Amino acid sequence: MGLFDNAVPGGNITKPLMIALGALLVGKMLSGRGEEAAAPQAPAPTPAGTDTSADGGLLGGLGGLLDKLKDAGHGNVADSWVGTGQNQSINPGDLGSALGPAVIREIAQRTGMNEQELLQQLSTALPGIVDKLTPNGQIPQNHQVASAFNS
């Protein structure tokens, strides 16, 4: 996967996990499961003010994800992923609460994973992925995140 080779402990990013990460961060990666992906996007799982068609994923891109974490009281954790120091972990329950049940349900459907397994894998992968996407402590534009997923 290039950029993300060392982002996840064990170095293994599975296809369902890449679909999940893409759904969070890159809108056009939402089409991960054949026929189901062709279903119209219901407004319910999309947080107000975001647009999945603008390459921002379900949360409006990386910045939207970080904002969700900060709003849920996990700003120090999110900041550690963006900054140059040690990445702090987040437990799956806290991540699920921050993202919200509608987003988790949507991603679980698209990946074919159950919600607990999805949250477990995302909580393990996100610190390293966000760290790799922000090497100089700057949050990239949505199109730059999309390029990273396509390379």
Query: To 10 degrees, the CA torsion angle through 129, 131, 63, 15?
Result: 0
Instruction: Report, as an integer, the average pLDDT of 85-97.
Output: 95
The total of other beta-carbon atoms located within 10 Å of residue 117's CB is: 14
pLDDT score at 50: 37
With a cut of 90, say whether residue 107 has pLDDT above it: yes
> Between these two residues, 149 and 95, which has the higher pLDDT value?
95
Give the up-direction half-sphere exposure of residue 53: CA atoms within 13 A in the CB hemisphere.
Answer: 4
Instruction: Report, as an integer, the average pLDDT of 4-14.
Output: 68
> Between these two residues, 53 and 63, which has the higher pLDDT value?
63
Which stretch of 34-43, 63-72, 84-93 has the lowest confidence by average pLDDT?
34-43
pLDDT band at 114 (very low <50, low <70, confident <90, very high): very high
With a cut of 90, say whether residue 4 has pLDDT above it: no
Instruction: Report, as an integer, the average pLDDT of 37-58.
Output: 42
pLDDT band at 27 (very low <50, low <70, confident <90, very high): low
- pLDDT over 70, % of the chain: 71
Instruction: Report, as an integer, the average pLDDT of 64-69.
Output: 94
The reported pTM is: 0.76
